[in-house]
């Protein structure tokens, strides 16, 4: 079933099925007012096509808002491939996907997301130039995970400053849900600041590494959302903040890297009612797309990237201040701020015609 209001300003939705390779993919272009739609490609074994479609629509809208709030000359788009990244990857499948991206004529620029690697991007790039996140080339940006993690780290610093009044993180406890690429880099940042880490993941090897490197405490995946901590940092899949989990939350701050952490916008109200500060996910996790944007626009500069990533701190403080002043949830305020930026760009485009 189509989730309510998923089509919110989308310009284009494409479905491709390549029988020879087995590729089934949705590519959603939400808005191109600020520039070509950019957003990663997610590979996931969805239960059905409707789940994949809903994910593409939600994620592409989030990318429009993410790119707008990060001040990037990019619109929002997303691709989802319906397949298992552990068993279904083939060169033919990724080449077919590259041809799908190419057929959109530059309206969509793809990059890494869940289930995808730099090597996958290289294969896709054999069929299209509209791809970023490559490990080499004239403007290659490489793996975006370290920059995503740095942005989340800066966002946690901003959230702790605003909510707890602390200028540093030493001695605080942060519960990290998911210690994959982004989560592990985040743990490294936090550990260096003297943070006590609690982690969960479905991959034992990742948990073992977190214990060895950061002396992290491990809890089961179904326990991480209810542990007592100063910050909960969801860094796995989305919709983890929902009707079932909210009553059990035991933190003053939620600040993590997963996309679409709220199962619905109304859950932002629930968090506000519980006096939990929520860092809008597409703001705090923008470090990766900031890194990719230089490659996508053909002008990669790591110093510019780091400055932009550091500015996530200031952007979140601005959102928190406006949300408090208006007595409204941070997720709703962030959405409106992003929409204001997109609307101004749209008006400038109209005026130029």
pLDDT in tens, 134-164: 876 655 666 788 999 999 999 999 999 999 9
For the chain, domain boundaries: 12-62+75-124, 145-285+315-337
What pLDDT does 15 receive?
97
CA distance linking residue 10 with residue 66, whole number of Å: 15
CATH numeric code, 12-62+75-124: 3.40.50.10860
Q: Is the pLDDT of residue 1 over 50?
A: no
Note if 349 is an active site residue.
no
Strand partners, 78: 28
Q: Is the pLDDT of residue 176 over 50?
A: yes
Q: Is the pLDDT of residue 2 over 50?
A: no
Q: Is the pLDDT of residue 269 over 90?
A: yes
Identical topology for domains 12-62+75-124 and 145-285+315-337: yes
* Dihedral, CA of residue 294, residue 317, residue 58 and residue 199, to nearest 10: 90
Q: Is the pLDDT of residue 7 over 70?
A: no
289-341: pLDDT as tens digits: 998 887 777 778 889 999 999 999 999 999 999 999 999 999 999 999 999 99
Mean pLDDT of all residues in 25-39: 96
Q: Which of 66, 78, 107, 150 is catalytic?
A: 78
CA distance linking residue 105 with residue 50, whole number of Å: 26
Q: What size, in residues, is the chain?
A: 353
Token representation of residue 93: 């499948």
For 86-168, list the strands marked E by DSSP.
Answer: 108-109
Architecture of domain 145-285+315-337: 3-Layer(aba) Sandwich (3.40)
CA distance linking residue 296 with residue 230, whole number of Å: 37
Q: Measured between alpha carbons, how far is residue 99 from residues 67, 91, 130, 328 in Å?
A: 25, 12, 10, 44
What pLDDT does 140 receive?
61
Token representation of residue 317: 């403080």
Q: How would residue 353 be classed by pLDDT, with cut points 50, 70 and 90?
A: low
């Amino acid at each position: 079933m189509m989730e309510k209001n998923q089509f919110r300003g989308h310009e284009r939705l494409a479905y491709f099925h390549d029988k020879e390779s087995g590729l089934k993919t949705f590519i959603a272009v939400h808005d191109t007012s600020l520039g070509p739609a950019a957003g990663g490609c997610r590979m996931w074994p969805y239960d059905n096509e409707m789940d994949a479609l809903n994910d593409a629509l939600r994620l592409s809208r989030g990318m429009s808002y993410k790119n707008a709030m990060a001040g990037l000359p990019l619109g929002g788009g997303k691709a989802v491939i319906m397949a298992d990244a552990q068993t279904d990857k083939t060169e033919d499948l990724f080449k077919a996907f590259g041809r799908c991206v190419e057929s959109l004529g530059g309206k969509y620029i793809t990059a890494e997301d869940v289930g995808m690697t730099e090597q996958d991007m290289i294969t896709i790039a054999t069929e299209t130039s509209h791809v970023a996140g490559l490990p080499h080339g004239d403007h290659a940006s490489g793996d975006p995970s370290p920059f995503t993690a740095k942005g989340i780290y800066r966002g946690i610093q901003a959230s702790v400053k605003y909510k707890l009044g602390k200028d540093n993180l030493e001695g605080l406890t942060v519960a990290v849900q998911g210690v994959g690429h982004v989560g592990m880099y985040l743990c490294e940042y936090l550990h260096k600041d003297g943070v006590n880490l609690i982690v969960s993941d479905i991959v034992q090897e990742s948990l073992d590494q977190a214990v060895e490197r950061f002396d992290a405490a491990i809890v089961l995946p179904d326990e991480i959302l209810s542990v007592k901590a100063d910050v909960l940092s969801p860094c796995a899949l989305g919709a983890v903040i929902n009707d079932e989990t909210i009553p059990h939350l035991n933190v003053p701050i939620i600040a993590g890297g997963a996309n679409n952490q709220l199962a619905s916008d109304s859950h932002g109200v629930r968090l506000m009612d519980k006096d939990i500060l929520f860092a809008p996910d597409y703001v705090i996790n923008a470090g990766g797309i900031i890194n990719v944007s230089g490659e996508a626009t053909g002008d990669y500069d790591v110093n510019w990237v780091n400055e932009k990533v550091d500015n996530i701190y200031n952007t979140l403080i601005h959102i928190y201040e406006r949300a408090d002043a208006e007595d409204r949830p941070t997720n709703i305020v962030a959405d409106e701020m992003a929409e204001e930026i997109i609307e101004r760009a749209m008006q400038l485009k109209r005026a130029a015609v």
